[in-house]
Amino acid sequence: MKDAALPADHGFQPVAEPPAAGRPLNFADKLVAFSHRGRATRIAERNGIPCFTNEFWTSGQRKASRLHEVSYRACFKPQLPAFFIERLTRPGDAVYDPFMGRGTTPLQAALMGRRPVGSDINPLSAMLLSPRLAPPSLEEIAARLADIPPSAALPEEPLLGDLRVFFHESVLARLAALRARFIDRERSGALDPVDEWLRMVCLNRLTGHSPGFFSVYTMPPNQAVGADRQRRINARRGQTPPPRDVDALILRKSRSLLSTGAPPPHPPALLGAAPADNAAFVPDGSADLVVTSPPFLDVVDYRTDNWLRCWFAGIDQDAVPIAAHRTPEAWRAFVHASLRDIARTLRPGGFLAFEVGEVRGGRVLLEDHVVAAAGGLPLAVEGVMVNAQKFTKTANCWGVANNRKGTNTNRIVLMRKTDQAATAWH
């Protein structure tokens, strides 16, 4: 009987029996043997590709390091990379994500004593991740804030009117002082780890839907809408940007992020800003494991979501060619090019966990396109792993019922570099 808590099979046919006993366990056998709260893994198959469905990691929101808790759209839980890092790598191994976003995979790798390797086409990503790999102390953070002039004038420019839709004049004056310091010191090569931490926290406190952010109430989940839409939100709610104590909010967020401690000693990170199909700074065959998730077609508008962050960081967002594909065919070509470079970075026998989700109301099965995109590359598809969740990844503030809309499962296409025999699970 089908478990009602698990998602639809999408055409996968049940497999009658698990792999035969009496031979060494491999990747698939481990998934078959996995049990969560007494629920066995459901096994199915379509077009010769096995599918393994269970709740492989917790849906709990507060069961990971607080260092992960920075605001960013469409990011997976740290339990996802942790599942694969624990089983497919040893301490010191390199774990790579070519679409790192806020840096969940590399940060989790560092927390587990592995080498964090990450890239994203937007240089904003490295700014969000790097300071959390070696955080300063709260005392250093407070002392640096006290050293930065309390305010600075913003230049009169068209953007200023848009900024006033989000921020009180006093907040803008403080942000101007902080922004000027970070940009000037980066240009001169004097930006240090404390400045990098402060910039990272500012980037994550710019806009949101609670008094813990610098802005007036804006669109959850902590995404920056365009100025025109924010004007409509302000009018509908009858709100104007309130004064905020920027330094106090920075210290409060820093205290929260640091509350579970810094990452343990780990190999030095390798981070860059490059397209996923040409991350040349990552050496050939250097990654032991890749855990990643690309943009899902054009579902998320990363350009709009990050426009304020790019402004604060001094990034010309028009110069960042963020991928957005309207058709599955265009997306599949994009994934094929990305997989080619990912295969280059993987060591022989290394694994790739490529996470996708449900789009277009479940009518487009992105995992099928990923499998097709791997054709002709030295990547063997081991199967599709479906992590069924109790709650949607879409926040409850959207009024979405459980498992009705949004992304309700993680769907991971598991692949292995085929240059030699696969490594055993540890």
| Number of CB atoms found within 10 A of residue 40's CB | 13
Per-residue pLDDT tens digits for 152-175: 887 777 788 899 999 999 999 999
Q: What is the rounded distance in angstroms from the CA atom of residue 126 to the CA atom of residue 104?
A: 11
Q: What is the rounded distance in angstroms from the CA atom of residue 315 to the CA atom of residue 297?
A: 24
Instruction: Look at residue 259 and tell me whether its pLDDT is greater than 80.
Output: yes
Residue among 226, 376, 364, 248 nearest 307 (CA): 226
Domain ranges of the chain: 13-121+269-302+323-417, 138-258
What is the pLDDT confidence band of residue 60, given thresholds at 50, 70 and 90? low
Predicted local confidence at residue 32, as pLDDT = 75
Predicted local confidence at residue 59, as pLDDT = 60
Predicted local confidence at residue 196, as pLDDT = 98
Per-residue pLDDT tens digits for 193-244: 999 999 999 999 999 989 999 999 997 655 678 889 999 999 999 999 999 9
* Better-scored residue on pLDDT, 393 or 231: 231
Q: What is the rounded distance in angstroms from the CA atom of residue 39 to the CA atom of residue 34?
A: 9
- The CATH fold assigned to 13-121+269-302+323-417 is Rossmann fold (3.40.50)
Per-residue pLDDT tens digits for 346-361: 999 999 999 987 665 5
Predicted local confidence at residue 20, as pLDDT = 43
* Better-scored residue on pLDDT, 228 or 405: 228
Predicted local confidence at residue 220, as pLDDT = 65
Query: Which residue type sits at 79?
Result: Q
Q: What is the 3-state secondary structure (H, E, C) of the chain?
A: CCCCCCCCCCCCEECCCCCCCCCCCCHHHHHHHCEECCEECEEEEECCEEEEEECCCCCCCCCCCHHHCCCCCCCCCCHHHHHHHHHHCCCCCEEEECCCCCCHHHHHHHHCCCEEEEECCCCHHHHHHHHHHCCCCHHHHHHHHHHCCCCCCCCCCHHHHHHHHHCCHHHHHHHHHHHHHHHHHHHHCCCCHHHHHHHHHHHHHCCECCCCCCCCECCCCCCCCCHHHHHHHHHHHCCCCCCCCHHHHHHHHHHHHHCCCCCCCCCCCEEECCCCCCCCCCCCCCEEEEEECCCCCCCCCHHHHCHHHHHHHCCCHHHCCCCCCCCHHHHHHHHHHHHHHHHHHEEEEEEEEEEECEEHHHCEEHHHHHHHHCCCCCEEEEEEEEEECCCCCCCHHHCCCCCCCCCCEEEEEEEEECCCCCCCCC
What is the pLDDT confidence band of residue 401, given thresholds at 50, 70 and 90? very low
What is the pLDDT confidence band of residue 298, given thresholds at 50, 70 and 90? low
* Better-scored residue on pLDDT, 402 or 281: 281
What is the pLDDT confidence band of residue 71, given thresholds at 50, 70 and 90? confident
Instruction: Look at residue 421 and tell me whether its pLDDT is greater than 60.
Output: no
Q: What is the rounded distance in angstroms from the CA atom of residue 231 to the CA atom of residue 221?
A: 18
Instruction: Look at residue 17 and tell me whether its pLDDT is greater than 60.
Output: no
Residue with tokens 């056998």: 29
User: pTM, whole model, 2 decimals?
Assistant: 0.87
Q: For 336-345, what is the mean pLDDT?
A: 97
Predicted local confidence at residue 116, as pLDDT = 98
Q: Are 242 and 216 in contact (CB under 8 A)?
A: yes
What is the pLDDT confidence band of residue 94, given thresholds at 50, 70 and 90? very high
Give the C-alpha distances (Å, rounded to integers) separating 262 from 96, 133, 247, 256: 20, 7, 22, 12
Share of the chain above pLDDT 90, in %: 58
Average pLDDT of the chain is: 84
